[in-house]
Structure 1
Amino acid sequence: MLNTKIIGNKIVKARKETNMSQAQLAELLFISPQAIGKWERGESIPDLITFNRLAEILGVDLNYFSENFQSATSETTSDELSEKQTIELPSEKQEQKPKWNMSLGNWIDADFSGLKNLDEKFGSSNMQRCKFVGSDLSHLILKNNNVDLCDFSKSEIRKSRIQNSNLSNNTFKNGSLNETEFSKSYISGCDFTDTDFTGVILKDGGFEKNIIAESIWNRTSFINTHIADVVFEGKLDDCYFENCKFTKVTFQHSVLNNIFFKNNNLKRVQFIDCQADRITYEFLESGKADISGITLLTQ
């Protein structure tokens, strides 16, 4: 059983010990700073799922919030005990996620290869020349990160969210980005050779000077993205280009099937020895693209 005032005191203590502000903690939990304030004043308490995430972020065991770990400064009066609100914590036998968090860090030349379940543990970090080779980074959340010269070869980065981040000169060879969303992120000079972009969304950012040889393009969306110095090759299926800015972009030896181009001016896009279905051909022609390098696919 837990007393809301005891919980609040313990959240304050653990947060201050990690030198984290209410705003920083709220950002990592994707809630408002006002909600953190209510917890710390004992006016409300987190739900069980949030308790788990809170323990990970603050670097404490889940049982830290129980009365067994109550500090001498957190003793309650009889009046407080009579008014307390209680919740049940999971039993000690229940398997818990690792209680570690590496957000807000500066990581240089570190080897994290083979890691799993990173989730949100690297948010707001600077990472340079780090290795994540063969890692399972599914459901990874990176927000406000700088990632430079890191190696993600043969890694699974499925259903992840990369927000407001800079990714420069990284290697993603032979990896998977299935269903990952990049928003307001700048991706430059990266090697995506033989990378699976199925279901990937890139919006409100930049995709420039990247190597994308033998990559898989299926249901990939570029929205409000600046695409520059990139060569698309091979087959593209059900892809989407909306309000993108193109600079030195080439489609070479490509088969374009059901590709949506919502752009008024595609004059800067070059097509060399390409094939396209009728609907894609019409989109390109209406966008004033030079279609001399495109032949229609036979039905």
Structure 2
Amino acid sequence: MDVKILGNRIANARKSQNMSQAQLAGLLFISPQAVGKWERGESIPDFMTIHQLADIFAVGLDYFSDSTLVERGRELPKLTDYNADGILAGKSRDVEPSTEPERTLLTDFSGSALAGTDFVGVYAPKRKFLGSDLRNADFSNADLNGSSFKGSDLSGANFKETDLRGCKFSVNNLTGTSFNKTILTDTEFYASELNKANFTESSLINVKTTSTDLRKTVFENCSFKGATFKSCDMSGINLDGQIFIDVMFDRVALTGASFQGATFRNVSFRSTSTLTNRYYKTLQTIRFDGAMMDKLTFASLKGLGVDLSLVKTL
């Protein structure tokens, strides 16, 4: 293929996804200058990189070949040109069936500028949002199970009643994000900013939260079953009246945390590493007044010197 034509096709695909050269370079772990050279026809990507480009732009490899019917300068459909059913605007379902194998499109929204985008009610499992701008995006009532969010700005996003089963949130900005009645099963949060994020009336089932600052995260009327908190800072957090079943707090800072009126069944506050005097003292600052515990959880905390004088056993 003529290197100029290949460069134009890379540039058109990138621009159709509202992606900058720097964003594309970040996804490929190369310099923006390298992307610029491709688009100017001064160099070409290797075969493996072309495969990566096809995944990022959700196109077939034939898009980059001589045999494709794509014309020079033609733009690919933008993400916003598709409706909630994944159909291009103005297109009908009643079209002749394609003889080509069906291929799933729009799986990768990485590097996209989608601040304030309306995703309400979409069915979009196993999508990728890597390095994306999703500030104030509305995902309410959407099905996003199995999706990945990494290095993205999700501040102010709305996940009300959203299906987030099996989703992974890694190194994201989730400041002020709403998780109201959200489906959180097998969901993972890693090293993400959850300042003033709000979890309301949600069931966190087998949720794993690691290396995350939760000091200013709000949990209201939530239940935790099979959840794990590991290497998190939960100092001063208010978890009064909430339900904890089969939950593990491992190497978690809980200084001044409040669990008043909460219910505990088979909950561990013991660290998997060596218990230090500092950790003992941290546990002794937790408020459990009015809580109800099964006998094993009660005995475990009592053995660590925690004041349980106002706790009832189940």
What TM-score do you get using the length of structure 2 for normalisation? Answer: 0.70
The alpha-carbon distance between structure 1 residues 13 and 113, as it changes in their structure 2 partners (threshold 3 A), is: same
Equivalent position of 1:98 in the other structure? 105
Equivalent position of 1:268 in the other structure? 285
Q: 2: CA distance between counterparts of 1:208 and 1:155?
A: 24
Q: 1: CA distance between counterparts of 2:313 and 2:111?
A: 52
Give unmatched runs, 5+ long, in structure 1: 1-5, 28-38, 73-90
User: 1:269-288, aligned counterparts within 5 Å?
Assistant: 269-288=286-305
Equivalent position of 2:46 in the other structure? 41
- Alignment partner of 2:306 out of 280, 286, 289: 289
- Asked whether the 8 Å contact 1:199–1:221 carries over to 2, the reply is yes
How far 1:21 sits from its partner (Å)?
7.5
Q: 2: CA distance between counterparts of 1:119 and 1:96?
A: 14
User: 1:151-190, aligned counterparts within 5 Å?
Assistant: 151-190=158-197
How far 1:12 sits from its partner (Å)?
7.5
- Alignment partner of 2:249 out of 241, 245, 252: 241
Question: Relative to structure 2, which stretch is displaced further, 151-160 or 15-24?
Answer: 15-24
CA RMSD, aligned part only? 3.2
How far 1:253 sits from its partner (Å)?
1.8
Q: 1: CA distance between counterparts of 2:23 and 2:152?
A: 19
Equivalent position of 1:36 in the other structure? none
Structure 1: which 4+ aligned runs deviate by more than 6 Å?
A: 8-13
- Asked whether the 8 Å contact 1:271–1:294 carries over to 2, the reply is yes
- Asked whether the 8 Å contact 2:228–2:249 carries over to 1, the reply is yes
Q: 1: CA distance between counterparts of 2:212 and 2:119?
A: 27
Equivalent position of 1:25 in the other structure? 27
How far 1:119 sits from its partner (Å)?
3.4
Q: 2: CA distance between counterparts of 1:258 and 1:9?
A: 65
- Asked whether the 8 Å contact 1:223–1:243 carries over to 2, the reply is yes
The alpha-carbon distance between structure 1 residues 296 and 11, as it changes in their structure 2 partners (threshold 3 A), is: farther
Q: 2: CA distance between counterparts of 1:12 and 1:119?
A: 30
User: 1:1-299, aligned counterparts within 5 Å?
Assistant: 18=14, 19=21, 24-26=26-28, 40-42=45-47, 54-61=53-60, 63-64=62-63, 68-69=67-68, 92-99=99-106, 101-117=108-124, 119-227=126-234, 228-263=236-271, 264-265=279-280, 266-297=283-314
Give unmatched runs, 5+ long, in structure 2: 15-20, 30-43, 72-97, 272-278
How far 1:243 sits from its partner (Å)?
0.4
- Asked whether the 8 Å contact 2:289–2:308 carries over to 1, the reply is no
Q: 1: CA distance between counterparts of 2:255 and 2:111?
A: 35
Amino acid aligned to 2:175: S
Q: 1: CA distance between counterparts of 2:141 and 2:231?
A: 31
How far 1:9 sits from its partner (Å)?
11
How far 1:223 sits from its partner (Å)?
0.2
Query: For each residue in 1:100-139, what CA deviation from the matched residue of structure 2 results, as whole angstroms up to 9, or x when unmatched?
Result: 6432234333211112226344221232222111001111
Share of identical aligned residues, percent?
21
Amino acid aligned to 1:273: G
- Asked whether the 8 Å contact 1:9–1:40 carries over to 2, the reply is no
- Asked whether the 8 Å contact 1:56–1:99 carries over to 2, the reply is no
Amino acid aligned to 1:245: A
Q: Which has the higher strand share?
A: 1
How far 1:256 sits from its partner (Å)?
0.6
How far 1:225 sits from its partner (Å)?
0.4
Q: 2: CA distance between counterparts of 1:173 and 1:193?
A: 5
How far 1:186 sits from its partner (Å)?
2.2
How far 1:157 sits from its partner (Å)?
0.4
Q: 2: CA distance between counterparts of 1:225 and 1:258?
A: 20
| Residue aligned with 1:24, SS | helix
How far 1:286 sits from its partner (Å)?
3.4
What TM-score do you get using the length of structure 1 for normalisation? Answer: 0.74
